[in-house]
């Protein structure tokens, strides 16, 4: 049997091994599956995105809500991975790929320095191909087997735990003030991560919520806080609990997210091999983007393969076009823009807690009507601020924040 592309999946079905918060982006999907919105199992179209900065008993919120765009595709929508990945793999099959589920790729085969195929866990499970695209997700051992990257450090990987909590659709729409079929996302920073660098999230599905929280593995190791405890604390937070009330936990999931950024990125190509998605560290955590980068990189890997096939040249020189395409796209441009962020987040997790507290205190002060004049209130806020952070440290924080995000 011959097929243009073989798609190995270690799970019995696509999606059963996969975890994500659940927000996907329409533009990158439309680039590979035009008019996907007519058939894809989307949960809700996201029209309301909120950012919460929490203290133990308060929240400062920011957000953006809009009417659904009249022009397809939707910018962002929520998914559950099992139905979504099943549908996505079926699109690849319809385009001619051969899906081989229940099969783990255990190694790449190298001959004369080139990658010439893969070795699977099946009997007589060696397969040869002019090109292997490594897409095995976070902490890819195939990247290491192929000699393209090193094992990741605990500070280059976050661990996220998540529950899918069933709630009637009407209750979700009431609690999140949504029109039917529309969805909300909330990213939650501050006290909920108990001093660690990370964040929580609540995303709305049709009849359930995806609720999760995570932090750098190195910080779980240092603090000895268990991921389970962190999630329970998050769900019990006085601003979070009312949104979940009456919900029934249907699934509990855990997964790693690559956090190392550009500094931990493996080599992206070599003779006969390309690396895409989480295996290549392509995650922009600040903007909750990973699925879109994986899809964009997958498309660029495909375009590179078409050119290489036409030229009959699968050498690293020919495949370097993949890197050029990535460099010209948002994928490497955004990872480069935020390349200093992992160091800041890891080295200064206090910033994610102190500033939400200071902001909350300042707003609370201004909103509390206690007979003091507003100028006096400003003075109080400034005094409290400088008591917690001398002015030179405030300047340093602002400079470091600007440097990591500019
Ligand atoms: C909790 C969580 C929340 C997230 N939230 C979001 C979000 O809201 N929006 C967003 O854009 N991104 C989010 N991400 C990131 C996003 O999930 C990833 O960036 C994206 O899934 C990467 O796609 P991928 O194909 O590279 O890897 P994956 O989606 O991990 O897929 C890898 C696939 O390879 C298979 N596999 C692994 N090893 C082998 C092997 N040896 N042989 C055969 N098959 C193998 C796996 O079973 C899996 O199907 C989140 C991640 C997590 C963990």
Q: Which residue puts its alpha carbon closest to atom 31 of ligand 1? A: 137
State percent of the chain over pLDDT 90.
84
Q: What is the pLDDT of residue 279?
A: 98
* CA of residue 348 relative to chain centroid, distance: 21
Distance 256 CA to ligand 1 centre (A): 9
Ligand 1 atom closest to Cα of 9? 44
What superfamily would CATH give domain 5-43+72-148+263-343?
Answer: FAD/NAD(P)-binding domain (3.50.50.60)
83-135 tens-digit pLDDT? 999 999 999 999 999 999 999 999 999 999 999 999 998 988 999 999 999 99
Distance 298 CA to ligand 1 centre (A): 13
Q: Is the pLDDT of residue 3 over 60?
A: no
- 67 CB-near residues (< 8 Å, 6+ apart): 47
Ligand 1 atom closest to Cα of 142? 41
Distance 137 CA to ligand 1 centre (A): 5
Distance 138 CA to ligand 1 centre (A): 7
Flag whether the pTM goes above 0.85: yes
Whether 5-43+72-148+263-343 shares its CATH topology with 154-258 is answered no
- Residue written as tokens 């440097």? 403
Q: Which residue puts its alpha carbon closest to atom 15 of ligand 1? A: 290
Distance CA 244, CA 166 (A): 9
Q: Which residue puts its alpha carbon closest to atom 30 of ligand 1? A: 137
Q: Which two tokens stand for residue 389?
A: 């952070």
Topology of the domain comprising 154-258: D-Amino Acid Oxidase; Chain A, domain 2 (3.30.9)
Ligand 1 test: best mutation among 86, 294, 301, most atoms within 8 Å of CB? 294
Q: How many CB atoms lie within 10 A of CB 369?
A: 6
Q: Is the pLDDT of residue 353 over 90?
A: no
Pocket of ligand 1 (CB under 6 A): 8-11, 17-23, 104-105, 135-137, 142, 160, 162, 212, 255, 257, 277-279, 283, 288-292, 294
Q: Which two tokens stand for residue 91?
A: 């699109």
Ordered by start, the domain boundaries in the chain are: 5-43+72-148+263-343, 154-258, 348-405
Q: Is the pLDDT of residue 79 over 60?
A: yes
13-42 tens-digit pLDDT? 998 888 888 999 999 999 999 999 999 999
Q: Is the pLDDT of residue 258 over 60?
A: yes
Distance 19 CA to ligand 1 centre (A): 6
How much is the mean pLDDT over the chain? 94
Q: Is the pLDDT of residue 151 over 70?
A: yes
Q: Is the pLDDT of residue 2 over 60?
A: no
SS3 357: helix
Distance 57 CA to ligand 1 centre (A): 34
- Residue written as tokens 């979940």? 244
Q: 166 pLDDT band (50/70/90 cuts)?
A: very high
Q: Which residue puts its alpha carbon closest to atom 12 of ligand 1? A: 290
279-299 tens-digit pLDDT? 999 999 889 999 999 999 999
SS3 121: coil
Beta bridge partners of 157: 258
Distance CA 199, CA 191 (A): 9
Q: Which residue puts its alpha carbon closest to atom 27 of ligand 1? A: 137
Distance CA 78, CA 200 (A): 16
Ligand 1 test: best mutation among 12, 119, 257, 326, most atoms within 8 Å of CB? 257
Yes or no: say if 56 and 192 are a contact pair by the CB < 8 Å rule.
Answer: no
């Amino acid at each position: 049997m011959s097929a243009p592309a073989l798609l190995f999946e270690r799970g019995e079905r696509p999606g059963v091994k996969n975890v994500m918060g659940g927000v996907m982006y329409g533009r990158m999907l439309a680039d590979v599956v035009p008019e996907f919105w007519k058939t894809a199992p989307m949960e809700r179209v996201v029209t309301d995105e909120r950012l919460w900065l929490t203290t133990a008993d308060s929240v400062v919120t920011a957000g953006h809500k809009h009417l659904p765009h009249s022009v397809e595709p939707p910018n962002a929508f929520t998914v559950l991975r099992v139905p979504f990945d099943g549908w996505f793999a079926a699109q690849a099959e319809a385009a001619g790929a051969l899906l081989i589920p229940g099969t783990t790729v255990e190694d790449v085969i190298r001959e004369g320095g080139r990658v010439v195929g893969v070795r699977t866990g099946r009997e007589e499970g060696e397969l040869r191909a002019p090109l292997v695209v490594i897409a095995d997700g976070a902490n890819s051992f195939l990247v290491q087997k192929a000699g393209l990257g090193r094992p990741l450090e605990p500070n280059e990987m976050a661990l996220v735990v998540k529950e899918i909590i069933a709630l009637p659709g009407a209750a979700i729409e009431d609690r999140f003030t949504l029109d039917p079929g529309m969805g909300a996302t909330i990213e939650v920073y501050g006290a909920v991560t108990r001093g660690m660098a990370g964040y929580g999230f609540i995303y709305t599905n049709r009849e359930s919520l995806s609720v999760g929280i995570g932090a750098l593995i190195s910080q779980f190791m240092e603090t000895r806080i268990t991921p389970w405890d962190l999630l329970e604390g998050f769900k019990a937070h006085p601003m979070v609990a009312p949104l979940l009330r009456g919900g029934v936990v249907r699934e509990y999931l855990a997964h790693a997210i690559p956090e190392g950024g550009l500094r931990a990125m493996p080599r992206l190509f070599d003779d006969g091999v390309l690396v895409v998605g989480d295996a290549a560290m392509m995650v922009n955590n600040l903007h909750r983007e990973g699925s879109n980068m994986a899809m964009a990189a997958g498309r660029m890997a495909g375009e590179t393969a078409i050119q290489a096939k036409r030229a009959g040249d699968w050498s690293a020189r020919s495949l370097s076009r993949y890197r050029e395409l990535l460099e010209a796209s948002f994928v490497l441009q955004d990872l480069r823009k935020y390349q200093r962020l992992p160091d800041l987040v890891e080295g200064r997790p206090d910033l994610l807690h102190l500033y939400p507290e200071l902001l909350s205190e300042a707003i609370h002060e201004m909103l509390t009507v206690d007979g003091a004049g507003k100028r006096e209130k400003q003075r109080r806020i400034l005094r409290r601020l400088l008591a917690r952070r001398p002015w030179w440290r405030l300047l340093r924080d602002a400079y470091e924040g600007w440097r990591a995000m500019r």
